[in-house]
Amino acid sequence: MLEGAGHRHSNGRATRTIGAVRIGLGLAALGRPGYLTLGHGDDLGPNRSVRALERRAHTVLDVAHDAGVRHFDAARSYGRAEEFLASWLERRGLGPGDVTIASKWGYTYTAGWQVQADPPEVKDLSVATFRRQLAETRSLLGPWLSLYQVHSATVSSGVLEDEELRSELAALRAAGVAVGLTVTGTEQAATIERALEVGGFDAVQATWNVHERSAGAALAQAKAAGLRVVVKEAVANGRLADRGAPEPLVRVARRLGTTPDAVAIAAVLAEPWADVVLSGAATPAHLGANLVALDVPWDDTVARELETLTEPAESYWATRAALPWN
């Protein structure tokens, strides 16, 4: 289930193939009432009970699946995302071979279903956390689990040098679950490069968008080495969507007759190393707008216009860290 999906015309434009689109759905904004995407609180509305958010998650998941999305990404720290995903899989009667189900370990959700919590999650990449959270994930996602990822691995954390952990990951891989890592922050490229050196990974998930391009060369290396490349935060937590889009992106979107988020996602789809680009949509409308990216015409002129949006990695990650949970 980790093969690439979709195809391209010779002009580089991503095209939709129902049942195999290159856009996946991430559940970071669907599994908990608080998140740092711009306008998240407005998207959820006043009823943020567990059951209300489960219904919302199921609705968005239904829309995604009906549109051909087959890659779904959760994490132990995404509130009840794994629980919502599991109940949806059961309701839809989907088998392990019908979808790619990815989750992550390494952060523990500590917000207690509150929007404002300090901290909302706690990071611990120890082997003890891996064992505990793998058991928790398996209790919910069981046979559906396709890919299990180290959540926000960094070189400085030392997680890639932990021999006991690497042995546990190898055992999981031998049992038939693909092993991956997600990366974050200014160390993204260095972390991917080190992961390729130590080996044992089937997939990598990284932030890449028209503001933050620093991991591009490392992701190309990962693709060449045979890893599945998944891209997160293609719309920069809403900064590249309608609510926060910079003028150059808005101008391009108007000319192409589409929305800024669709152009931002199309920019990632245009990269030859990108297998799956995650939508972080919290509403069916936003997901529908994101999926339009599959039909956005792409050429060198558009690419050059958006190059001006590139930010230094340090600035990008400082801005992201300052975004409020809402």
Q: Which helix (H) or strand (E) holds 279?
A: strand 276-279
CA distances from 314 to 35, 186, 188, 213 (A): 22, 6, 11, 12
201-232 exposure pattern, b = at least 16 Cβ within 10 A, e = fewer: bbbbbbbbbbbbbbbbebbbbbbeeebbbbbb
Burial of 171 (0-12, 13-18, 19+ CB in 10 A): exposed
Per-state percent for the chain, helix, strand, coil, to nearest 5: 45, 15, 40
Would you state the pLDDT for residue 152?
Answer: 98
pLDDT for position 20: 66
pLDDT attached to residue 167: 98
Bridge partner residues of 24 (DSSP): 278
Question: Which amino acid would we find at residue 13?
Answer: R
State the burial class of residue 144 (Cβ atoms within 10 Å of its Cβ: 0-12, 13-18, 19+): buried
Contact call for residues 206 and 188 (beta carbons, < 8 A): yes
Query: What is the structure's pLDDT at 118?
Result: 86
Euclidean distance between CA atoms 92 and 235, whole angstroms: 29
Q: Each residue's pLDDT tens digit in the chain (326 positions)?
A: 464 333 332 233 333 333 469 999 999 999 999 998 999 989 899 999 999 999 999 999 999 999 999 999 999 999 999 999 999 999 999 999 999 999 999 999 999 999 888 899 999 999 999 999 999 999 999 999 999 999 999 999 999 999 999 999 999 999 999 999 999 999 999 999 999 999 999 999 999 999 999 999 999 999 999 999 999 999 999 999 998 899 999 999 999 999 999 999 999 999 999 999 999 999 999 999 999 999 999 999 999 999 999 999 999 999 999 998 88
Q: Which residue has the tokens 């299990």?
A: 148
Beta strands 23-26; 100-105: pairing state: unpaired
Q: What is the structure's pLDDT at 34?
A: 92
Q: Which CATH superfamily is domain 22-322 in?
A: NADP-dependent oxidoreductase domain (3.20.20.100)
| Side-chain-side CA neighbours of residue 233 (13 Å) | 24
Note the pLDDT of residue 176: 97
85: tokens are 């995903």
Task: Give the residue from 99, 28, 91, 29 showing the smallest Cα distance to 68.
Answer: 99
Backbone φ and ψ for 296, nearest 5 degrees, come out as -75, 125
Give Cα 300 to chain centroid, integer Å: 26
Quote the CA–CA distance of 232 and 208 in Å, as a whole number: 7
Contact of 37 with 282, CB cutoff 8 Å: yes
Can you give the pLDDT at residue 115? 87
Residues 169 and 129: their CA atoms lie apart, in Å, by 13
Q: Where are the domains of the chain?
A: 22-322
Phi and psi at 101, nearest 5°, equal -110, 115
Block residue for tokens 């523990």: 108
pLDDT of residue 2: 66
Query: How far, in Å, CA of 24 to CA of 64, rounded?
Result: 8
User: From CA 220, how far away is CA 224, in angstroms rounded?
Assistant: 6
pLDDT on residue 7? 31
Residue 108's pLDDT is what? 97
